[in-house]
Amino acid sequence: MDDGSRHGDGLHISVYAFSDEDVDKLMFTLQDKFNLKCSIHYNRDKKPRIYIFKESMVILRSIVRTYFIKEMLYKLGL
């Protein structure tokens, strides 16, 4: 819940400690298993983040909402 933030109408998931290979695997898993439209973005320090596009936010919310505590729902735009 804490390693991410809203970015516009989408969402960044911070994966700074992951290897490039693991970031790729995670992104492709999100695409293949959950049908989420996503890409890899980099912050100013060249650290990777997975960006979930606004078109996929409804799907993401339906998957993770029940696992979020109410104080963190704002990160999903709820």
Give the DSSP letter string of 62-76: HHHGGGS-GGGGGGG
Q: What is the pLDDT of residue 67?
A: 76
Q: What is the pLDDT of residue 61?
A: 85
Q: What is the pLDDT of residue 24?
A: 94
CA distance 71 to 75: 9
Q: Model pTM?
A: 0.83
pLDDT in tens, the chain (78 residues): 456 666 778 888 889 889 999 999 999 999 999 999 999 989 898 889 999 999 998 998 888 888 777 777 777 766
Residue 39 CA, chain-centre distance (Å), reads: 9
Domains and CATH numbers, the chain: 4-76 (3.10.28.10)
